[in-house]
Amino acid sequence: MTLETAKKTLQEPNGLANKEAQAVVRGGMTICEQEEGRRVYQWIKVLPTETDEESSIKQALSKYHARKHAHTLPAQSDPEPKIRPSEEPVAETAPMSKPAVTSTPENAFTIYDIIDKIKLKIREFMVAIDEIVVE
């Protein structure tokens, strides 16, 4: 159902009884499904169709069920493997060992050096404060 037809249908005296027209104008509708002994209410998006002969609800339900069952279908295996083994022989190399000590630039400080410098500055600051208090 087209959007124009749905709006015209709702303006008629008996228009509110047409669920498809309401769904097209609102942009969707709620459906109830029975799952494992309980009711599940799902909102499906209902879009207007190009002609009035096509059912908007049927299209929306078919899209919803296709999306719902796409997750439950088993994955299809590809006939060809995605990773092909290389045809060139790979030269075997000796495993490389990691250096025991990582090389650092000469001007880089460790955290301990930074902490020691902070402690030294704090001591100098405390000595300066003590001199001020004595005077």
pLDDT digits (tens, 9 = 90+) for 108-120: 668 888 999 999 9
- Among all chains, which residue has been given the structure tokens 């002969």? 53
| pLDDT of the residue at 83 | 59
First to last CA, the chain: 95
**How far, in Å, CA of 128 to CA of 135, rounded?**
11
| pLDDT of the residue at 68 | 81
Low-confidence ranges of the chain (pLDDT < 70): 71-109, 134-135
Cβ atoms of residues 9 and 15 within 8 Å: yes
Q: What residue ranges do the domains of the chain occupy?
A: 3-70
| pLDDT of the residue at 70 | 77
